[in-house]
Copies of this chain bind each other. A is one copy, B any other.
Amino acid sequence: MNLAKSTYQRIVLVSRPKGMPTEENFELQTLPQPSPDSLGEDEVLVSNHYLSLDPYMRGRMSALKSYAPSQLLNETMIGATAGEVVASNYAGLKKGDTVTGHLGWAEMGVINGQQLRRIDTENIPLSAHLGILGMPGVTAWYGVNVILNAQPGQTLLVSAAGGAVGSVVGQLAKLKGCRVVGIAGGAEKCRHAIEHQGFDACIDYKQMGSKDLDKEFVLALSQAAPEGIDLLFENVGSSGFDAALACLNPHAKIALCGMVAGYNSRAEPLKNAGKLLTMRATLQGFIITEQLDSWPQAIAELTELVINKKLACRETVAAGLAAAPGAFIGMLNGQNLGKQLVRLAD
C-alpha cells in the first residue's frame, strides 16, 4: 500500500450549533486507513467519491427530540455517500463496484455490505445517485405522486424551488401537466427554474422588501398563481408557507416536507392556519425514509426520466472534504443551486 494513502480524513461534530452552524462546530480529523485485512464478515471498505449535504442534517445536530436520533458528538457526521468498493468480504459486492451508502463526512469507511446499494454508472453519473435518484429525488417523487397526486391543470407551488428537492418537484409536476410556480431566493435560481426546468413562474423572495412581507408575498403569489394554489409542496415554512395558505383553493393538498426556515431559528408563527379549515385542505407531513416501500418504483421511474433526458439534473459541487462545513452552511443559507455535493475523490 502506498504510504501517501495510508491515512484518510473525516469530519466530526464537536459542538452543537446554536442557530446557524459555524465552522467551529466541526473538526477535520486524519485517521489511519482501515486495512482490507481487518474487514469482518460481510464488511466492505468503500472509498467515497461524493458526499451529499442535506438540510435534515441540521436537525440531527441538535440534541432536541425529533424523528431521528441526534448526531453524536465526536463521531463522524452522518451523511449519504457515493463511491467505489476498495475491498469486500460481502458476497454481493466486489472491488471496483460503485455503491451508495451512509458512510458520512469521510473519505472512506467500513460498512456491512447489506447497507450498500450497487448502482449503475454507465448511463448515469455517480453523483446523480445522491440527488435526483437519491433521497431528494425520491422525496420529490413521493410528494408529487403519492401525497399530492398531481393532476393536469392543477396549480402546484413549491418552495425552495432551486434546491435539490424543489427543482425535481417542479419538473415532475410539469410532466404531469400542472401549472408550476416556485419560490426561490435570488434571480439566478428563478431564471434557472423557468428557463431550464420548465417552471411557469418563480417568485424571488430576496426581491421583497420587509415592510409588510406577508402582504407582499400574498400579492406575488396571487399574480404568479392567479387561479389559486391546488397543490403545495412545502420545504421552507415561515412567511412563504403562510402566504401560500392564504392563496389555497378549496380541497387543496399540502405535502409538508421541510420547514428549513425554522431549523436555525424560531420559525415565524403561522397566521393563516384557519385557511386549512375554510379551504378543507389536507396536509401531510412526511419523512421519505419512512416510506421505503415506495423507493423502488420511485427510483425506477426517475431513472427512466433521467436517461430519456426528461429531467434536468443540476448540482453544486464543493471540492474536498475540508470544504464540507462551509458548503453545508452555504446550503442552509440557500447558496446552492440544485443538489449540494462535496467531491471527495475523482
How many interface residues does A have (CB within 8 Å)? 31
In the complex the two chains form, is A276's CB within 8 Å of B280's CB?
no
Residues on B with C-beta less than 8 A from A256 are 276-277
Known: A269-B269, A270-B269. A283 touches B276 (CB 8 A): yes
In the complex the two chains form, is B277's CB within 8 Å of A259's CB?
yes
Any chain B CB within 8 A of the CB of A66? yes
Partner of A286 from the list B237, B269, B280, B285 (CB cut-off 8 Å) is B280
Q: How far is the CB of A309 from chain B (nearest CB, A)?
A: 33
Any chain B CB within 8 A of the CB of A273? yes
In the complex the two chains form, is B250's CB within 8 Å of A280's CB?
no
Any chain B CB within 8 A of the CB of A22? no
Q: How far is the CB of A234 from chain B (nearest CB, A)?
A: 9
Specify the chain B residue showing the minimal Cβ separation from A277. Answer: B285
Any chain B CB within 8 A of the CB of A290? yes
Any chain B CB within 8 A of the CB of A14? no
Produce 1/0 per residue, A273-307, CB < 8 A to B: 11011111111111100100000000000000000
Any chain B CB within 8 A of the CB of A258? yes
Residues on B with C-beta less than 8 A from A287 are 280
Interface residues of A in 304-333 (CB under 8 A from B): none
In the complex the two chains form, is A274's CB within 8 Å of B237's CB?
yes
In the complex the two chains form, is A285's CB within 8 Å of B290's CB?
no
Complex Cα distance A186/B36, Å?
71
Q: How far is the CB of A239 from chain B (nearest CB, A)?
A: 12
In the complex the two chains form, is A279's CB within 8 Å of B67's CB?
yes
Q: Which residues of A come within 8 Å of B, CB atoms?
A: 59, 66-67, 237, 241, 250, 256-259, 262, 266-267, 269-271, 273-274, 276-287, 290
What are the 4 A-B residue pairs with the smallest beta carbon separation, nearest first? A269-B269, A277-B285, A270-B270, A283-B283
19 residue pairs A–B, Cβ–Cβ below 8 Å: A66-B278, A67-B279, A241-B273, A256-B277, A259-B273, A267-B273, A269-B271, A270-B270, A270-B273, A276-B283, A276-B285, A279-B285, A280-B284, A280-B285, A280-B286, A280-B287, A281-B285, A282-B283, A282-B284
